[in-house]
Structure 1
Amino acid sequence: MYDKILVPLDQSHNADLALRHAIGLAKKFDSKLYLINVVDTERIAMYGTGMGYVDLTQDLRKQAKELLANRMEEVKSAGVAGEAILESGNPKATIAKTAPARYDIDLIVMGKSGTDALERIFIGSTTAYVVRHTDTNVLVIADDGEDE
């Protein structure tokens, strides 16, 4: 039913909950997980594109690689096939459109909210955007109420 499952990751507790659910689904359906982190270069560019931009982008990519490597260890330890994807650009569009098309994704499993509370207030959450704009099924995992 779900051969390829996309799991957007950031440093949030809700993303980790989504990953746990996705691992369970992958075991049940013998699916492959695609773990994705998108470095928001469009947002960083708003502050200028000088040397600070390059340094910040490199630092964020390094953090993203570490996050993906750690979460891939969890996936492999659970006996699930997986692939880590590191992208740059607009996270909302990449998760909603680009990655599902590129990897032929059947399901997106994501947390109800991520790390950027300020963005949720003024712009809207990535999850809400993905639900409204993707052509792929989305499973939204609610917060379990535990503190991070």
Structure 2
Amino acid sequence: MADQQYQNILVGIDGSETSMKALDKAVEAAKRNAAKLTIAQILKPQLSTVGRTSIGFGVVETDVDDADRLKEQESLLDDVVAQIKDKGLDQVKRIVKIGNPREELAKTIQQEEQIDLIYIGATGANRVAQMFLGSTTIYILEHSLADVMVVR
């Protein structure tokens, strides 16, 4: 695998410590391979919309909608991309969208961007939670057609 050359590297981030470590490793791999780096953050859809929402015994005012969430994350990732470019990696793309992180990272983005290597942080969920909720990392490992590097 030492002679393996990657052209399109994807890293999925969610703000967790392990996803940020995965980002660091993906940047280094992209530099070594002179590859394009795609940074993706997939936000799960809000359960409620802007306005008044009844939850349990009361009413909650919700003031953040999906469009606001997208704008905020796009701005944050624009800063990350600028920092990476300052470190000498020119081919960096960011993707921020609302959707299913598993499907987007393991299939949709992988196909659209012709990804041949994915970096993803290891799951923080315990074994019991994984049985009930599943894990994005495990899903990507099982369904990706690209090589996958899991970062702890």
Q: TM-score range by the shorter chain?
A: 0.7 to 0.9
Give the corresponding residue for 2:8: 4
Aligned-residue offset at 1:51: 4.2
Is the contact between residue 50 and residue 65 of structure 2 (CA under 8 Å) also seen in structure 1? no
Give the corresponding residue for 2:137: 127
- Report Cα offsets for 1:37-87 as digits up to 9, x if no partner: 11212xx2xx34564688331332133213311221232122112011112
After TM superposition, the runs of 4+ consecutive aligned structure 1 residues lying more than 2 A away are 47-56
C-alpha change, 1:84 and 1:110, in structure 2 (3 Å) is same
Q: How many residues in Structure 1 have an aligned counterpart in Structure 2?
A: 135
Give the corresponding residue for 1:76: 85
Give the corresponding residue for 1:113: 123
Instruction: Please report the RMSD computed on the Cα atoms of aligned residues, expressed in angstroms.
Output: 2.2
Unaligned runs of 5+ in 2: 53-61
Give the corresponding residue for 1:34: 38
- TM-score, normalization by structure 2: 0.79
CA distance in 2, matches of 1:35, 1:76: 13
Aligned-residue offset at 1:31: 0.6
Unaligned runs of 5+ in 1: 143-148
- TM-score, normalization by structure 1: 0.80
Aligned residues with identical type, % of pairs: 32
C-alpha change, 1:129 and 1:78, in structure 2 (3 Å) is same
CA distance in 1, matches of 2:7, 2:95: 17
Larger strand fraction of residues: 2
Give 1 or 2 for the bigger CA radius of gyration: 2
- Where 2:64 maps in the other structure, the secondary structure is helix
CA distance in 2, matches of 1:51, 1:90: 24
CA distance in 2, matches of 1:74, 1:13: 18
